[in-house]
Structure 1
Amino acid sequence: MPDKNVVSWNTMVDMYSKCGHVMVARLVFDMMTERDVVSWNAMITGFAHHSQNREAFAVFKQMRQDGMSPTESSYASVICSCARLSSLPQGRQIHAQTAKDGYEFRVYVGSALIDMYAKCGDVDEARRFFDTMPTKNVVSWNEMIHGYAQNGCGKRAVELFERMLRTDEKPNSVTFIAVLAACSHAGMVDKGIKILDTMEKDHGIQPLADHYTCVIDSLGRAGRLVEAEALVDKMPCIDDPVLWEVLLSACAVHGNATLAKRAAEKLFLLDPLSSAPYVLLSNIYASLGRWDDASAVRTLLNGRGVAKDRGYSWIDNKNGVRAFMVDDDLGMVNAEEQASVYGAT
């Protein structure tokens, strides 16, 4: 390959990363005889964006060893990788480095740190850091509210959301997804409905399928399926398969075959190659002793040529993690015989 200037090389690294060819980007990066901070950031961000988080952390470490000073972008990307790895020791190490280099309270670095601590389960540390940030934007608030939601702290998420409403920072669509998810997980059904009702009326934000799905999930968990169906009927976004999957799962928990049939038939149209709604509807009928209906659904599944996903189990032993497949006709098949061994030595 002919020699090119650093800007051109950086462009190639960035282009290959954004096109999903991150290993090609790494080959180009390794061929560079000269690199600047943009080169390193492009490679770290490329790995982080494609969830190759250990590789992102390794490049960041190499960057520092080569005497290149990280930037706000470098830190934000590698902190995100630490969050996805749930690596609290590495996250704390990077946090200390951001403080030393003066990036700790940059908004995007700070928001990434909040997310990292929350994903690692240390929600109290996330909140302590959030409270010390001199400047916050909507991303900072969203990360903290979402951190509470994913750690089962629904009441604290709602309290922080309501505190946010008393500031100059305005919530966005992502804020409402976070707080509605928190309400669902915490069983705060009526609070979630109230928040959903305020979105367009008080904040001018049109609810999307994700917002409705959170509330339907909340109603489904509480067994309030009549209200869940009524909400579905007045929604503008009725062609979202996740919404119907959530409703069907709630029907399975509470044994509502009538609504389950409606949800399953909708999923047959929206996701015709998925076997999940057939299997779940059949299981609901079977749990209610409606064996003819259960058999009819299985016949429909086979008649439409939809392949049922096979189940797997994993056994961890001294030779690694071995997978075993459940087959409808053969029973338990050793996946090693089908060249499906994972991590064996």
Structure 2
Amino acid sequence: MIARYTQGGCAMEALRLLDRMVSDGFKPNTSYISSVLCASASLNNVLLGSNVHGLVIKTGVDGNIFISSALIDMYCKCGKPDEGRQVFDTTSEKNAVCWNAMVAGYSSNSRSNEAEELFKIMPGKDIISWNRLISGLVDNEDYEKIMSSGQMPDQTTFSSVLRACACFSSLEKGKNLHAW
């Protein structure tokens, strides 16, 4: 229920239900914590998210990869990419979700140079990784960097790059992309 409320854009309802669960004596698990972090990000409530981070440390689930990914995402979506990076750096076994969350976090916070540097050392880049980087570059209007990425695009990539061509008023590059 909590996850569905959060995914459905009803973050406050999710938090009310979470509060009720705690009042009824339920102990938080990783699913609960992930849902609260997602709700915090949706509400742009870094205070709630950092309180949950404290709970994560107290309960000893801070090594959980799903929790780490949710923390990185929450901090970055709340405009605190440095805090997200601290979680990222202390996560011993990072998966693609952690890497992508951090790259997207830097990108969405107008720190495209840091996003690119992290992307360069990222193991196992895939199309999702490229799309996260490209989408952030489009959001920050770094159109020249997009055009020289050299990645084989999918539908999401094409959408982002065409948007960049339109913003850049680059008819020639847009025609080349259309032909591709």
Match of 1:60 in 2: 18
Q: What amino acid is the match of 1:154?
A: S
Name the structure 2 match of 1:233.
179
* Inter-partner Cα distance in structure 1 for 2:3 and 2:142: 38
1:146-193 deviations in whole A, cap 9, x for unaligned?
A: 1111111111111110011xxxx3122221111111222344334323
Asked if the contact 2:130–2:151 (Cα under 8 Å) also holds between the matched residues in 1, the reply is no
Letter matched to residue 110 of structure 2: G
Aligned partner of residue 135 in structure 1, secondary structure: coil
Provide the residue aligned with 2:27 in structure 1: 69
Q: 2:142 aligns with which of 174, 188, 192?
A: 188
Deviation of the 1:222 alpha carbon: 2.2
For these two proteins, the number of residue pairs brought into alignment is 180
Partner in structure 1 of residue 75 of structure 2: 117
TM superposition shift of 1:194: 3.0
What CA deviation, in whole Å up to 9, does each residue of 1:222-252 have, x standing for no partner?
Answer: 2222211221122xxxxxxxxxxxxxxxxxx
Letter in 2 for 1:143: A
From 105, 122, 130, give the equivalent of 1:176: 130
For the residues of structure 2 that align with 1:198 and 1:230, how far apart are their CA atoms?
15
Q: Deviations over 1:243-268 (max 9, x none)?
A: xxxxxxxxxxxxxxxxxxxxxxxxxx
Which residues of 2 match residues 57-206 of structure 1 at below 5 A?
A: 57-164=15-122, 169-195=123-149, 197-199=150-152
Cα distance in structure 2, aligned partners of 1:183 and 1:82: 25
How far 1:216 sits from its partner (Å)? 2.0
Per mean C-alpha deviation after superposition, the further-off stretch among 124-133 and 136-145 is: 124-133
Gaps of 5+ in 1: 1-42, 200-206, 235-345
CA-atom RMSD, angstroms?
Answer: 1.5
SS of 1:171's partner is coil
Q: Distance in 2 between matches of 1:219 and 1:57?
A: 41
Q: 1:134-156: per-residue Cα shift (whole Å, max 9, x none)?
A: 12100000111111111111111
CA distance in 1, matches of 2:29, 2:94: 19
SS in structure 1 at match of 2:148: helix
Which amino acid is 2:99 matched to? Answer: W
Deviates more, 1:87-96 or 1:215-224: 215-224
As a proportion of its length, which structure holds more strand?
1
Which structure has more relative contact order (CA 8 Å, sep 6+)? It is 2
- C-alpha contact (below 8 Å) 2:162/2:174 kept by paired residues: yes
CA distance in 2, matches of 1:187, 1:48: 30
Contact 1:142 1:178 in 2 (8 A): yes
- CA–CA distance in 2 between the matches of 1:186 and 1:68? 43
Considering fraction of residues, name the structure with more helix.
2
CA distance in 1, matches of 2:73, 2:30: 16
Q: Distance in 1 between matches of 2:19 and 2:52?
A: 10
Partner of 1:262: none
Kept in 2, the 8 Å contact 1:158–1:179? The answer is yes
Bigger radius of gyration: 1
